[in-house]
Each structure stands twice: as structure tokens, then as C-alpha cells.
């Protein structure tokens, strides 16, 4: 009920409660769900606090006599049992709807393989030679087309990492030996900040990346820029190395190069 009201009223009038409004289909729905939960919590919190304060004042001790003892007010007990159950059902239902959408994997031609490692990211685009690779503060930049479903295959070659982009309201584990698949449909061009969200070692706090969402034609141009023998050689070498690391089951060694000055 209450979250549904949040979903309907969302947008301009309801505050964001600290979350980002989202730049993809599912992140917007997650944002509205968050608003609905926050509004429900605010209403229930205010009501509960108000009733407690009222009871404290109204029934405060006025003398040594024990006041009249009342119990088993059936209608009242039914109300305070049924109403919370309805609230929980409403919150659960709204969560189920949004979660089902965010884990749906509609078919698409845009595929990005994401490999997390200590302490950086590699993005490869199967079907092209596009390869983006970078460690920590180099913030490797993934390029995505706007208004297209983008399918991600997310894994790790060493330890558990977390793939998180605030503007996508989305986070997933990058697990060694597991490929986590998900689909994101960016709806707004721009550059967004991503980072690792699992404590994964020394430079975890610097394990950054960026997501650049561009128009379809800019995306095709970007892919085409890798259409040369040098890029192809780099792509093949990178994919072979990653595949060897993934299939060996042995965590790859952390690389300490290219952290910038002083490291």
C-alpha cells in the first residue's frame, strides 16, 4: 500500500532520501521503491513515536493507586495485528516486482565481459576488439550505448570483488569461478563513477572505474576505433590471459605497476 503510493507519487514531490534518482530503467524503479519504503517508514515512525509520547503523558503516574486494568480489547488487537501484516505484504510485493525486473535478462546484442582483479578492471566486448583495462586510479572507462539493453558477464580472476555504480543503484559480487549475469539499460548519456565494494586487499579503496554512456553512433564509432591489427593483438592477448587465469583456478598475482606516483 504505502510503497505503492510512493511508486505512484514518486519523482518531483518526494525527497530522494539520500539515493540517486537513477540513470537506467531498473535504477529508477529501485529509486522509487526506496522512496516508497522511506515514506512508509516516516509515516509509521511518526505515528509510533506520537503514540508513545501520548501514552507517556496521558497515563503518567498521578498517585499511589493502581489505575483501572483493561485487557483483551478484541477489535483493537485485530487492528494492530492485521495492519502490520498488510504493510509487510505491501513492502514485500513491491520489492518482489522491482527485484524481478532488475534480475531479468532480456536478449540483446550488446555484451560486456567484466573481469575484476586486484586492483582493477578489464572490460572486453565480444564480437569486437574493444578492450579496456586499468588499475585503481587509472579508472578504466567502460563505454555503453544509451537506450540499449547491455548484458554483463561479471567475474573475477582472484578474490571476491564488488561491481557497484551508484547511478545504476546496482551492485553485484564479482566472484572467482562464477559468472554473474545481469542486464542494465542506461537511459541517460553521461559519465558515471563505479568502484569495488568488497574489501579485496591493499588497494581496494582505489579500485575505481567509470561508465561512459554515449549515443548509438558514438558507441559504434568507439567500437570501430579498435578495428586495427594492433588492437586485435592486444584484445586476443588479454582474453587469452584472462581465460588462462579463469580456468587455472589459481588466483593470479596482484600487479603492483601503474599505480601512479609514490606507489
Please state, as a whole number, how many other Cβ atoms lie within 10 Å of the Cβ of residue 195. 19
Cα torsion through 243, 244, 245, 249, rounded to 10: 110
186: nearest Cα among 220, 152, 153: 152
Distance (Å, rounded) from C-alpha 32 to C-alpha 188?
Answer: 17
Q: Which of 114, 146, 150, 207 binds Cu ion (CB under 5 A)?
A: 207
- Closer to Cu ion by CB, 177 or 190: give it: 177
Q: Is residue 196 within the footprint of Cu ion (CB under 5 A)?
A: yes
Region binding Cu ion by CB under 5 A among candidate stretches 5-13, 22-30, 200-208, 214-222: 200-208
Region binding Cu ion by CB under 5 A among candidate stretches 3-11, 106-114, 193-201, 228-236: 193-201
Q: According to the 3-state scheme, what is the secondary structure of 38-93?
A: HHHHHHHHHHHHHHHHHHHHHCCCCCCCCCCCCCCCHHHHHHHHHHHHHHHHHHHH
Query: For residues 77-91, b (16+ Cβ closer than 10 Å) or e, as one string?
Result: eeeeeeeeeebeebb
- Closer to Cu ion by CB, 34 or 152: give it: 152
- Closer to Cu ion by CB, 32 or 161: give it: 161
Q: How far is the CB of 176 from Cu ion (least distance, A)?
A: 11
Question: Counting Cβ atoms within 10 Å, is residue 165 exposed (0-12), middle (13-18) or buried (19+)?
Answer: buried
CB 31 within 8 A of CB 20: yes
Distance (Å, rounded) from C-alpha 162 to C-alpha 150?
Answer: 18
- Closer to Cu ion by CB, 40 or 200: give it: 200
- Closer to Cu ion by CB, 2 or 206: give it: 206
Q: Which of 23, 30, 39, 200 binds Cu ion (CB under 5 A)?
A: 200
- Closer to Cu ion by CB, 117 or 168: give it: 117
Region binding Cu ion by CB under 5 A among candidate stretches 1-9, 79-87, 194-202, 251-259: 194-202
Q: How far is the CB of 49 from Cu ion (least distance, A)?
A: 41
Q: Using CB under 5 A, count the residues that bind Cu ion.
A: 4
Using CB under 5 A as the binding rule, the residues of this chain from 144 to 183 that contact Cu ion are: 161
What is the contact surface with Cu ion in residues (CB under 5 A)? 161, 196, 200, 207
Amino acid at each position: 500500500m504505502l510503497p505503492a503510493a510512493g511508486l505512484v507519487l514518486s519523482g518531483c514531490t518526494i525527497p530522494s532520501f539520500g539515493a540517486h534518482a537513477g540513470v537506467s530503467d531498473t535504477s529508477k524503479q529501485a529509486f522509487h521503491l526506496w522512496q516508497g519504503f522511506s515514506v512508509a517508514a516516516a509515516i509509521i515512525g511518526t505515528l509510533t513515536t506520537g503514540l508513545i509520547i501520548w501514552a507517556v503523558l496521558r497515563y503518567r503516574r498521578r498517585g499511589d493507586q493502581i489505575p483501572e486494568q483493561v485487557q483483551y480489547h478484541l477489535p483493537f488487537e485485530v487492528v494492530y495485528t492485521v495492519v502490520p501484516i498488510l504493510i509487510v505484504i505491501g513492502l514485500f510485493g513491491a520489492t518482489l516486482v522491482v527485484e524481478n525486473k532488475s534480475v531479468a535478462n532480456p536478449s540483446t546484442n550488446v555484451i560486456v565481459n567484466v573481469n575484476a582483479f586486484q586492483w582493477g578492471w578489464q572490460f572486453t566486448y565480444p564480437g569486437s576488439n574493444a578492450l579496456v583495462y586499468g588499475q585503481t586510479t587509472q579508472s578504466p572507462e567502460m563505454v555503453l550505448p544509451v537506450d540499449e539493453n547491455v548484458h554483463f558477464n561479471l567475474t573475477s580472476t582472484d578474490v571476491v570483488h564488488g561491481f557497484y555504480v551508484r547511478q545504476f543503484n546496482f551492485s553485484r559480487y564479482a566472484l572467482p569461478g562464477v559468472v554473474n549475469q545481469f542486464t542494465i539499460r542506461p537511459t541517460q548519456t553521461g559519465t558515471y563513477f563505479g568502484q569495488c565494494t568488497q574489501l579485496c586487499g591493499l588497494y581496494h579503496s582505489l579500485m575505481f572505474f567509470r561508465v561512459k554512456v554515449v549515443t548509438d553512433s558514438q558507441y559504434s564509432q568507439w567500437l570501430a576505433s579498435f578495428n586495427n591489427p594492433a588492437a586485435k593483438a592486444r584484445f586476443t592477448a588479454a582474453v587469452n590471459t584472462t581465460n588462462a587465469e579463469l580456468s587455472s583456478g589459481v588466483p593470479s598475482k596482484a600487479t603492483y605497476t601503474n599505480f601512479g606516483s609514490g606507489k
